[in-house]
Amino acid sequence: MKKAIWFSARVLFLILISILYALGSKINPIPCTNIIFWSTLLYFFISSAKEFDADPKTQRFFILGIAITLCYVIASIKNAYYIASYNEYYLSGMHSIFPDTWFKDSVTSILKPSIWYQKLKFTIGFEHLIINFGHKFKFDFGVLGTNLIRSAEYVGLFAVPFYMIYRDTRGK
C-alpha cells in the first residue's frame, strides 16, 4: 500500500512539473532557460525512475509509461497555449501572457485524445520558433526547425532516462 501511494504521488508530481515546464517554456522566450527547465524535468524524472525499486523490466516499463504520459501532457499544454495565443492575436489583435482560453483548451486537450491530435496537427503545421536578438535581428527556425527541436525534446524524455538507468545498472 505504501509503495502504491508513493508511486501515485511521484507520478502526480512529475505531471505537475511537466505542466509547469510546458507552460514556462511557452511563455519564456529565452532558449537557455528553457533548456534548464527541461533539464530539471529530466532530473526529477530520472531520480524517480532510480527510486522505483523493481526488476529492470518493470523499471523500463515505468520509464516508458511515464515518458508517454509526460509527452502527452506537455504536448497538450503547449499546443493548447499556441492555438489560444494564435486565435487571440489573429482574431482580436491582442496578445497576453495567458490567452483567455488556454486553460480550458488544455484541459479539454488532455481529456480528449481526438482534440489533442487536432491541436497537434495544427501546431506542427504552423508554429515557428523565432528568437529575437534586439530589434534589428531575429532568427526564424521555420516549421521544420521548430518541429525538429520539438522532436528532440520528446525523444530526450524517452532516451535520457533509459540511458541513465542502463549506465547505472551496467556494472551490476
Confidence of residue 11 (pLDDT cuts 50, 70, 90): confident
Report the chain's mean pLDDT, rounded to a whole number: 85
Q: Give the cell for residue 7.
A: 508511486
Structure confidence at residue 114 (pLDDT): 95
Query: For the residues 65-70, what does the mean pLDDT come to?
Result: 90
DSSP state of 135: T
Residue 171 confidence (pLDDT) above 70: no
Query: For the residues 136-156, what does the mean pLDDT come to?
Result: 88
Burial of residue 118, with CB atoms counted within 10 A of its CB: 0-12 exposed, 13-18 middle, 19 or more buried:
middle
Asked if residues 144 and 39 have their Cβ atoms less than 8 Å apart, the reply is no
- Residue among 80, 39, 46 at smallest CA distance from 66: 46
DSSP state of 97: S
Kindly give the interhelix angle for 102-111 and 56-87, rounded to the nearest 10 degrees. Answer: 140
Helix locations, 29-95, DSSP H: 31-51, 56-87
Structure-model confidence comparison of residues 1 and 90, the more confident one: 90
Q: What distance in Å separates the CA atoms of residue 82 and residue 64, rounded to the nearest whole number?
A: 27
Q: What distance in Å separates the CA atoms of residue 76 and residue 109, rounded to the nearest whole number?
A: 6
Query: For the residues 6-35, what does the mean pLDDT come to?
Result: 85
Neighbours of 99 (CB within 10 A): 21
H or E element, residue 140: strand 137-140
Which phi and psi angles does 138 have, rounded to 5°? -140, 150
Query: For the residues 95-99, what does the mean pLDDT come to?
Result: 83
Asked if residues 102 and 119 have their Cβ atoms less than 8 Å apart, the reply is no
